[in-house]
Every structure is written in structure tokens, then in C-alpha cells.
């Protein structure tokens, strides 16, 4: 799923700034620019879509 920074800001509008974001068990690591107009959200887990099945796979990196 891809959304723009503007769409994310709009979704967060109105929520208190001290409210926590929960990523369903994923550990947020950082935001990393990967292209001129691409910002990647990185986690301490590897999350990817398996091409053969279309299933999302999560691997711990420890």
C-alpha cells in the first residue's frame, strides 16, 4: 500500500500530538528517503509480499 505524506498528515489531523502510534507488533525503526519522491517506513522486521502467493511475510531481523 502506498499513500502520500500529505494523505498521512490529513489522516493524523485532529489527533493529539502526544498520542502513540501502534504498528500491530512491528517495531518502528526509521523513515528513509529511497528516491526523489519515495519515503520508506522501516521496521526492525523485514516485511514483504511473497510474489508466488501474494501473502505478506514478516521476518524478525534478530
What confidence category does residue 62 fall into, taking pLDDT thresholds of 50, 70 and 90? Answer: confident
Instruction: Read off the pLDDT band of 10 (50, 70, 90).
Output: very high
Query: Pick from 49, 41, 45: which is nearest to 59 by CA?
Result: 45
3-state secondary structure (DSSP) of residue 30: strand
d(CA 55, CA 38): 23
Res. 18: pLDDT tops 90: yes
Question: How does residue 58 score in pLDDT terms, banded at 50, 70 and 90?
Answer: very high
Residue 61: what pLDDT?
79
| Strand partners of residue 59 | 46
**pLDDT for residue 15:** 97
Reply yes or no on whether the pLDDT at 47 is more than 80.
yes
- In angstroms, the CA 41 to CA 21 distance is 13
Domain boundaries, the chain: 5-60
Amino acid at each position: 500500500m502506498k499513500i502520500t505524506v500529505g494523505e498521512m498528515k490529513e489522516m493524523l489531523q485532529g489527533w493529539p500530538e502526544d498520542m502513540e502510534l501502534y504498528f500491530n507488533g512491528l517495531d518502528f525503526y526509521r523513515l528513509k528517503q529511497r528516491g526523489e519522491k519515495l519515503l520508506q517506513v522501516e521496521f526492525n522486521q523485514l516485511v514483504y509480499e511473497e510474489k508466488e502467493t501474494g501473502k505478506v511475510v514478516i521476518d524478525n531481523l534478530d
